[in-house]
Chain A
Amino acid sequence: MPLKSFERIILFTHAFGRSYPIVEVTFIKPNGQRRVLPLLFDTGASSIIIRPKYHYLFPRSTATEEVGTVGRSKGVNAKATTGKVEFLGKTIDCNVLLMPIKMPPLWAGLLGREVMELFGFGYWQSSGELFVTVTP
């Protein structure tokens, strides 16, 4: 059996009678200011997706991208921009999609696979733990 080791644990956030894998990600604005956004850990998202109201954190962009979402037959238009994010000590330049999706106030968007590639994760829904290694 393969064995994996992890050096960090992110405990799930409890709300509304359920547990959610929410991770705090720091976004570094073009002027160097740092802002934390809670994001839902979502392996179904290819990149970071943020609600459009947080656009002020990112460089202005006119590029749009059609994004496929579950439950919809047509794609949704999203503004495509980039962002510098810091997560568990790693700083990453990555794509960010500003997309109008309804979410509770607990998270501002979704953490997609582009950032996940730099880490290794072990996901335990029943115990509410997300194990992370920064050296996968």
Chain B
Amino acid sequence: METIDASFTYVGTWSFQFGGEGIGPIERQIPSNPQLNAARVVMQPNTAFLAANVKEISAKYAGKWILVAGGKIVASANSPAKLEKQAAKSGIEDPLIAEIGKGPAVWNTAYASQVI
């Protein structure tokens, strides 16, 4: 994971553009917190991309696996094996290969039951 010095993002909106499959920019609020000056924000662009577009991705790739790298979808397939090969062949470092389930995901805990 890449890290950046957060001192220049002390207040306001942090925006960055991902170019994957027509999906737009992601905006995240960085709270005004003095500790950000001394600390470093861990960047997780692939997870941020998935989160910002999870509804569209779930609709488009239901039942498939997707290969995410550099904040965009590089490929999709019915099994992870194909994507594993593609990632190796393309020399993609630290790819995220995710299964996109069919139907709504249900997350149950002792505290909440949420269908999303």
User: B residues within 8 A CB of A34?
Assistant: 93-94
Bound together, the chains give a CA A50 to CA B36 distance in angstroms of 31
- Contact indicator B105/A6 (Cβ below 8 Å): no
- Size class of the contact patch on chain B: 35 or more
Contacts A9-B6, A11-B28, A129-B33 given; indicate if A24 touches B54 (C-beta within 8 A): no
Bound together, the chains give a CA A14 to CA B54 distance in angstroms of 10
- Contact residues of B: prevailing secondary structure: mixed
> Looking across the interface, which residue of chain B has its beta carbon closest to that of A31?
B88
Least CB distance from A133 to B in Å reads 9
Contacts A8-B39, A88-B1, A131-B39 given; indicate if A35 touches B95 (C-beta within 8 A): yes
- Contact indicator A6/B47 (Cβ below 8 Å): no
Which residues A111-136 have CB closer than 8 A to chain B?
Answer: 127-129, 131-132
Residues of A within 8 A of B (CB): 5-11, 13-16, 20, 22-24, 26, 33-38, 51, 53-54, 56, 70-71, 88, 102-106, 108, 127-129, 131-132
Given A9-B35, A11-B41, A16-B114, 13 other A-B residues pairs in contact with their CB atoms under 8 A: A9-B36, A15-B52, A22-B51, A24-B46, A70-B110, A102-B105, A105-B57, A105-B98, A105-B101, A106-B50, A129-B33, A131-B39, A132-B42
